[in-house]
Amino acid sequence: MSQPNVVMSVRHVDAKISIIDIQGDITALAENALMEAISQANMPSVRAIILNFGGLEFMNSGGIGLLVTLLIRMNRQKQHLLAYGLSEHYKHIFELTRLNEVIGVYDTEVGAVAAAARLT
Amino acid sequence: MTTPSTPSGDMQPRDATYWAQQGTNLKLSDVPAGAINLNVEGRSVVGPLQGFGKMWQKTYRVRLVDALVQPTEVIATWKENFQSFWPKGNRFYAPLTGITPGEVALLNLKTGGMPLSTGVLVLYADDESFTLMTPQGHMFAGWITFSAYVDDGATVAQAQVLMRANDPIYEMGLTMGGHKQEDKFWEHTLKSLAARFGVLAPVQIQAVCVDPKRKWAHAKNIRHNAAMRTVLSAPSRWFHRGRKQ
C-alpha cells in the first residue's frame, strides 16, 4: 500500500485542551499518524482535542470514516472533538456527511479554543 | 495575444471533483424503466452517526493473485458493471452517467424475502475508490467504500461498510441473521468481481464493532423505514399497474 502523505503536530493549549495541526492528506492511510498524534495529545487531564484542518490538502471517504471512528473513540472516553480551519470545500463535505452535527466546526483557533473551554 | 486566465479552479483542492456537490437531500435525475422508485426523492442522506444500532465496520477483501490488473482497472470495471456482480434478485439501477459523484442510484432489493426499494448517493468517486451513502429509511445509516490497492505484489479489491442499523426494526433484523445475509451478499459480489479477472479466491471478512451502544434518540428513524413503506405501498403499485394495462 502507499505511504501516508500527512504530518501531524501536537500543541497543548492547557491541561484540558490540545490541538493537532494537520498538514497533508487525510485518507485511511493516515490512521497510524492520527492515532499517534491523538496519543501525544491525550494527556490524562485532556477533555477536548481540536483538529486544525488549515493544512488539509486532500481527503477521501476513507478519511471521513477515520474521523467518525476517532469521534466514537473520544466520546467513549467522555472527551470532545472540535475542528477549525476547514475551507469551504471541506465544510461542505462535513455537512454532506453530517459530521458537522457531531463535531463542533469553528472558523478560527480562538473560536474553537473558546468553545472547548466552555465544554470542559 | 493574451493567454486566457487560468480558472480559479486551480485553487481547488485535489479532491474537489471527487465529492458530491449537492446538499444532503436526494434528487433523482431519471427513473430507469422497471425500477420501483420509492423512499428516495427528497430523503436526506444519513451517516453512521445518525443511525440507531451498534456501529460496525465490516471489511470484505479479495486478493486478485496472479491477475495482472491495476487498481484503477479493477475500479473502472467495478463501476461499469456494478449490478452484474450482485446476487440474483437484487437490482442496482445505475444512473445514466454511471457511478459519478452526486448521482443517485435506485436499489430494488430482497431482504429476508421481503422487497425493499431504496437508493444511494454516490458520495465520492475517484480512480481507485468510490463510496455510496445511504438515505433515511435504508437498512443502514452509513456508507460503503469500494476500493482497490496493491498489497504485497497483488491487487486487492475491497468493500468496506461503516454503518449502524437505521432503526430498531432493522437492528433486530441484522441481529437475527441480517449480518450473515449481508456478509453473503458482499462475498458473492467480490467473488464475482474476482472471477471477472480470472481469479478464484476466498473473500476475507473482518467485522469490528466500533460502538456497541445503540442510539435510542434515533429510534424514531423508524418512521422512514423503507421496507415497511415498500410493503405497504405494494397494493397501490399493483392497482396503478393494472390500470395502465
- H helices of chain A, in order, are 31-41, 61-76, 88-96, 109-119
Q: Is the CB of B143 less than 8 angstroms away from the CB of A62?
A: no
How far is the first Cα of chain A from the last one, in angstroms, to the nearest whole number? 39
Tell me, yes or no, whether A36 lies in a domain: yes
What confidence tens digit (pLDDT) does each residue in B63-89 have? Answer: 999 899 999 999 999 999 999 999 998
Domain boundaries, position A48: 6-119
Identify the pLDDT of residue B4: 37
DSSP category for residue A81: E
pLDDT band at B32 (very low <50, low <70, confident <90, very high): confident
Among the partner-chain residues B15, B23, B47, the one whose CB lies closest to the CB of A58 is B15
Total count of domains within chain A: 1
pLDDT band at B245 (very low <50, low <70, confident <90, very high): low
pLDDT of B5 > 60? The answer is no
Identify the pLDDT of residue B185: 95
What confidence tens digit (pLDDT) does each residue in B144-188 have? Answer: 999 999 999 999 999 999 999 999 999 999 999 999 999 999 999
Give which of A59, A86, A92, A96 to mutate to test B binding, by max B Cβ within 10 Å: A96
Rounded to 5 degrees, what angle do the CA atoms B195, B199, B205 make?
85
Query: In the predicted model, what is the mean pLDDT of residues B204-232?
Result: 93
pLDDT band at A110 (very low <50, low <70, confident <90, very high): very high
pLDDT band at B196 (very low <50, low <70, confident <90, very high): very high
Judged by average pLDDT, the poorest of A50-54, B41-45, B114-118 is B114-118
Average pLDDT over chain B reads: 89
Identify the pLDDT of residue B113: 74
Identify the pLDDT of residue B112: 72
Give which of A97, A98, A101, A105 to mutate to test B binding, by max B Cβ within 10 Å: A97
Query: In the predicted model, what is the mean pLDDT of residues A107-116?
Result: 97
Identify the pLDDT of residue B115: 82
Tell me, yes or no, whether A1 lies in a domain: no
Among the partner-chain residues B15, B16, B49, the one whose CB lies closest to the CB of A68 is B49
Tell me, yes or no, whether A63 lies in a domain: yes
The contacts of residue B88 (CB under 8 Å, 6+ apart) are: none
Domain range list for chain B: 33-210
Identify the pLDDT of residue B241: 63
What confidence tens digit (pLDDT) does each residue in B9-22 have? Answer: 457 889 999 999 98
Tell me, yes or no, whether A110 lies in a domain: yes
pLDDT of B92 > 60? The answer is yes
Q: Is the CB of B49 less than 8 angstroms away from the CB of A71?
A: yes
Cβ-based contacts of B210 with chain A (< 8 Å):
68-69, 72
What confidence tens digit (pLDDT) does each residue in A2-59 have? Answer: 788 999 999 999 999 999 999 999 999 999 999 999 999 998 999 999 999 999 999 9
pLDDT of B7 > 50? The answer is no
| Burial status of residue B208 (CB atoms within 10 A of its CB: 0-12, 13-18, 19 or more) | exposed
Give which of A61, A73, A94 to mutate to test B binding, by max B Cβ within 10 Å: A61
| Percent over 70 (pLDDT), chain B | 92
d(CA A111, CA A51): 13
pLDDT band at B240 (very low <50, low <70, confident <90, very high): low
Q: What is the 3-state secondary structure (H, E, C) of chain B?
A: CCCCCCCHHHHCCCCHHHECCCCCECCCCCCCCCCCCCCCCCCEECCHHHCCCCEEEEEEEEEECCCCCCHHHHHHHHHHCHHHHCCCCCEEECCCCCCCCCCEEEEEEEECCEEEEEEEEEEEECCCEEEEECECCCCEEEEEEEEEEEECCEEEEEEEEEEEECCHHHHHHHHHHHHHHHHHHHHHHHHHHHHHCCCCCCCEEEEEEEECCCCHHHHHHHHHCHHHHHHHCHHHHHHHHHHHC
**Higher per-residue pLDDT: B245 or A55:** A55
pLDDT of B125 > 50? The answer is yes
Q: Which CATH number fits domain B33-210: 3.30.930.10, 3.20.20.20, 3.30.530.20, 3.20.20.300?
A: 3.30.530.20
pLDDT of B60 > 70? The answer is yes
Say yes or no: A105 contacts chain B, CB-CB below 8 A.
Answer: no
Identify the pLDDT of residue B9: 43
pLDDT of B238 > 80? The answer is no
Domain with residue A43: its CATH number is: 3.30.750.24
Query: In the predicted model, what is the mean pLDDT of residues B103-112?
Result: 86
Please say whether the beta carbons of A2 and A32 come within 8 A. no
d(CA B122, CA B125): 7
Place of cell 468481481: B193
**Higher per-residue pLDDT: B3 or A20:** A20
Cα-based distances in Å from B123 to A30, B60, B161, B194: 20, 20, 13, 24
Identify the pLDDT of residue A81: 97
Cβ-based contacts of B20 with chain A (< 8 Å):
96
pLDDT of B117 > 60? The answer is yes
> What is residue A58's three-state secondary structure?
strand
Identify the pLDDT of residue B101: 96
- Cα dihedral A62, B184, B224, B92 sign: positive
Helices A31-41, A61-76: inter-axial angle, 10-degree rounding:
30
pLDDT band at B6 (very low <50, low <70, confident <90, very high): very low
Rounded to 5 degrees, what angle do the CA atoms B25, B76, B160 make?
60
